[in-house]
Chains A and B, each alone.
Chain A
Amino acid sequence: MDDLLVNQFLLLGAILFCIGVYGVIARKNTVLVLMSIELILNAVNINMLTFGAMHGDITGSVFALFIIAVAAAEVGVGLAMVLIIYRNRSSVDLDDVDSMRG
């Protein structure tokens, strides 16, 4: 245990990613699903920076910053959509948003 391994960061990212996937599938509240998506994006950022550090390349940091910007845009639009769903249906449960069910 005297060296930081590439794997320990990648496995941490994988674990966070899987927890986020579970949250997206299992949660009912739309805001909680958005929070799980943020978990997934953070896991991806850890992987980006790990590969950047591994190769001594700054591109990982640059794309992590881009992902942070896209995540900010995503959560802004996502919460606006949640608000309008709540205004129209008085509920944010994903099970209640089924008007396009075939």
Chain B
Amino acid sequence: MIAAQVAQNIFFYVIAAVMVGAAIVVVTNRNIVRSALALIVVFAGVAAQFIILAAEFVAVTQVLVYIGAIMVLVLFGIMLTRSKIGRDPDSTNEHWWVGVITALLLLGVMGYATIDYFGDDPLPAERQIAEVNGSNTATVSDAIFGQYLVPFEIISVLLLAALVGAIVIARKDR
């Protein structure tokens, strides 16, 4: 059990380091396509962290929706708006230091709050929630189609509205 925990810890820190590096590339690189590709690395890392947290269904959904659909949309957005492919020295505005100050202040407050409150609280070693059929996926589907049925239906209507809205906004013949 201890060996498994150590392995999970090593995987966590390796993936987290890659994610933070890729996220910094996303917000600082002057090449917009490189930013988009680094964002794919961040999404894949998030999916890997979900696996460590034993949320395998959310991890698969993350890969399908974010890497499969949202990144394709973003790349289409880059191509259709003819952003400068290649180095664009003008991609960060002149008040970027305001962003640095805001982000560092926010990180300080959030980091202090979590370290102060949670300290060394461990995650439970057995993270599968086995109320139904012994797997997290079964429990998730049971919760979505039971307790959270109304929010789920509202999300469905929201997705339909967003789809129709996007088509209406982006249509050419008006």
The answer to whether A binds B is yes
User: Using a CB–CB distance below 8 Å, which chain A residues touch chain B?
Assistant: 1-12, 14-32, 34-36, 38-39, 42, 45-46, 49-50, 52-54, 56-62, 64-66, 68-77, 79-84, 86, 92-95
Distance A73 CA – B65 CA, assembled complex (angstroms):
11
Q: Which residues of B contact A52 (CB under 8 A)?
A: 53, 55
Give bound CA distance, A17 to B26, whole Å: 13
Cβ-defined contact, B74 with A79, below 8 A: yes
Say whether A32 contacts B118, CB under 8 Å: no
The 4 closest A-B pairs by CB, nearest first: A25-B99, A73-B162, A23-B27, A26-B99
- Contact-residue size bin, chain B (C-beta under 8 Å from the other chain): 35 or more
> Total A-B residue pairs with C-beta atoms closer than 8 Å?
269
Q: Are A58 and B140 in contact (CB under 8 A)?
A: yes
CB of B104 within 8 A of CB of A18, answer yes
Interface of B toward A, CB cutoff 8 Å: 2, 5-6, 8-9, 12-13, 16, 19-20, 23-24, 26-27, 32, 35-36, 39, 42-43, 46, 49-50, 52-55, 57-58, 61-62, 65-66, 69-70, 73-74, 76-78, 80-83, 88, 90-93, 95-96, 98-100, 102-104, 106-107, 110-111, 114-115, 118-125, 127, 129, 131, 136, 139-140, 143-144, 148, 151-152, 155, 158-159, 161-163, 165-167, 169-170
A-B contact pairs, 29 of them (CB 8 A): A3-B122, A7-B118, A9-B49, A19-B26, A21-B102, A22-B100, A25-B96, A25-B98, A26-B95, A31-B77, A31-B83, A32-B32, A34-B74, A45-B62, A54-B121, A56-B129, A57-B129, A61-B57, A62-B143, A62-B144, A64-B58, A65-B140, A72-B69, A76-B163, A79-B77, A83-B80, A83-B170, A86-B81, A93-B90
